[in-house]
Amino acid sequence: MFVDSHCHLDRLSDQTHGGDIAATLAAARAAHVSQFLAIAVTLEDMPQLAAIARAHQDVAISAGLHPLHTPVSEPSVADITDAAEQYGAVAIGETGLDYHYADSVPIDIQHERFKRHLLAARELELPVIVHTREAKQDTLDLLREHSDPRVGGVLHCFTEDLAMAREAVALGFYISLSGIITFRNAAPLRELARQLPLDRLLIETDSPYLAPVPYRGKPNQPAWVVEVAECIANERGISVDEVAMQTSVNFYQLFRAAAPDAPAHVKQALAQSGLL
């Protein structure tokens, strides 16, 4: 089985099974994807995400505000924690820093927003989902200062360097790889996939964005997380089954609130590790 640890089910393209979420999830399940984490971009998304999760037992959700979104008003720590508790989120985010588009949201606002999410995650003891782009040092500094190493989180859709990945792992974070790893110009990411311990990796689609080869240019979908796993397996010289199993166990180790809904064989592996 595979887990899509980061997808935007409420933002699927009309070109993906006609925009039908149920059909999209059915196609993914047919490809042996058995768990989905649907990520919030705004707190206003939460009711729709919660409705998707109620309709599909294998969908979990997060609560947060993307660093590049401009809300009507900035959410407080209490706003974030209240939304997470009200809608049953298993994680906080996505949040973080994006300096590539710093003109969209000023850096000082991004910092304060990221800090509030980290404080909310600490308060609820939930992992945090971090978006980071061209903000290596500030991201690591804020994680050191405000994240809870006992709970940790994930640097999603990772595109930075191996040194940053290793520092994040030392802080208790996982590294999630997306379809970008299959791109022709992504040799450094493939090297990272070989170098990092497999027990610190997650896989994701970030759908409907960043479709992997051979689907590049099309709207992405959760079924294609398998392509990410196959690329990692090829780079490491191991079976795709091993990548699928370990990244699934990693997912439930991190997002423990989702673990009760894990498939039986994954629950067995978690129980053997003392995590269930």
Distance CA 212, CA 159 (A): 14
- Binding positions: 6, 8, 94, 131, 156, 206
Residues contributing to the annotated binding site for a divalent metal cation: 6, 8, 94, 131, 156, 206
> How many CB atoms within 10 Å of residue 99?
16
